[in-house]
Amino acid sequence: MSDHLINGIRKGNFAVFGRAGMDMYADPAGTKAEHAETFRADLGGSSANICAGLCKLGMQSALITSVSDDNVGRFCTNRLRHYGVDTQYIKVLRGEYRVSLAVYESTMDDFQLCIYRNNAVDFQVTEEDVDRVDYSSFGALITAGTVFAAEPSRSSTFRAFENARAAGIPVIFDIDYRPYSWPSPEVAAEVLTRAGEESDLIVGNDEEFGFMAGGIEKGLDKARELAAAGKLVIYKMGQEGALTFAGGAEIRTGIYPVTAVKPNGAGDSFMAGLLAAIAEERPLKEAVLRGSACASIVVSQPGCAPAMPTTPELDAFLAARSGPTDI
């Protein structure tokens, strides 16, 4: 794990690329969306969730994206500000492009998530947009893989990688593979592999690394290959915990079991918890475990951004448990 990466994260100020969206989830918890009479709304979208999670843990974040010039776009921007996220780099785009909408429920019984991504506005981020960012004011760049699924955001985010390297800040990549966003699995594998090669820290689950490698059985070898190139790699395995590859070492960690009400939001919260803990100069194994605890907290509550824990909430969660599962 390079000093360059750690020193950047320890600044606690992150430029985050990717989408913001509106989440609508059936209320009360346990209600199936198709039978709901009431829905709650809040901020969603993987990168926006990471931003909110970081701010709730005492860090700073700015989201670089586009939102639609309508009430839903304004809702997302207002909720980002509510959570303390810097919105100065959000472009408001007129026309027929739209912010994503996710409709789901807070029950694991046949959980359903319906995402509307027609004419997604976040794909319209341009090179001009990313060149406006003052990279020198941040400690690190974070991106979720969704930005690479279409143009012009694919090329503009790779341009942002170049700008980050020129400014001397590390790149953090959450693979976050969503098949429905991509034109084909072949394009996705090629582009996400390139993103991984150009990043300093890569986080993904076993299926995502397997996808990049051309088969689920090859995912672990892919993670080790990227780590051998000097990257910090976190290979998540769901209920089996995670493997962290850093400086030639392999660190195995468990999870914190909870009664889940939904599966979504866990990865975004993990990323926020991991980075906040590294910024607080905690040991890497502890940082991974705090990320895992954040993931458990989020899946045990309705919503994504509102379920992200604050530092006192995270500390209370950990204090109430003897430790993670043995693995």
- Domain spans of the chain, in order of start: 3-319
Cα-Cα-Cα-Cα torsion 223, 228, 231, 235, nearest 10 degrees, comes to 20
What is the H or E stretch that residue 66 is in?
A: strand 60-68
| pTM of the predicted structure, to 2 decimals | 0.97
Identify whether 152 is preceded by a cis peptide bond (ω within 30 of 0).
yes
Mean pLDDT taken over the chain:
96
Omega cis (within 30) before 28: yes
Please give the average per-residue pLDDT across 37-55, as a whole number. 98
Write the CA distances from 193 to 187, 188, 199, integer angstroms: 10, 8, 10
Query: What mean pLDDT comes out for the span 196-217?
Result: 91
Strands ordered across the beta sheet of 140-144: 90-93, 60-68, 13-17, 140-144, 171-174, 201-205, 232-236, 242-246, 249-253
Give the torsion sign (CA, 314, 316, 317, 318).
positive
Q: Do 226 and 193 contact (CB within 8 A), yes or no? A: no
Residue 142 tokens read as 């974070």
What is the domain class of 3-319 according to CATH? Answer: alpha beta
The predicted-structure confidence for 130-188, as pLDDT tens digits, reads as follows 999 999 999 999 999 999 999 999 999 999 999 999 999 999 999 999 888 899 889 99
Sign of the C-alpha dihedral computed for residues 201, 10, 318 and 303 taken in this order: negative
pLDDT score for 2: 85
pLDDT at residue 92 above 90?
A: yes
Phi, psi of 301 (to 5 degrees): -135, 155
- pLDDT level of residue 80 (50, 70, 90 thresholds): very high
* Of 300 and 326, the one with more pLDDT: 300
pLDDT at position 1 is 61
Q: Find the mean pLDDT for residues 212-237.
A: 92
The whole-angstrom separation of Cα 51 and Cα 56 is 9
pLDDT band at 34 (very low <50, low <70, confident <90, very high): very high
Residue 122: half-sphere exposure toward Cβ, Cα within 13 Å: 32
- Using 50, 70 and 90 to split pLDDT, how confident is the model at 45? very high
Q: Tell me, what's the pLDDT at 327?
A: 65
Query: CA 18, CA 135: separation in Å to the nearest integer?
Result: 16
Crossing angle (nearest 10°) for helices 206-213 and 219-228: 80
**Given the structure tokens 């915990």, which residue do they identify?**
241
Confidence band, pLDDT 50/70/90 cuts, at residue 326: confident
Using DSSP's 3-state secondary structure scheme, residue 308 falls into coil
Segment 320-326 shows an average pLDDT of 89
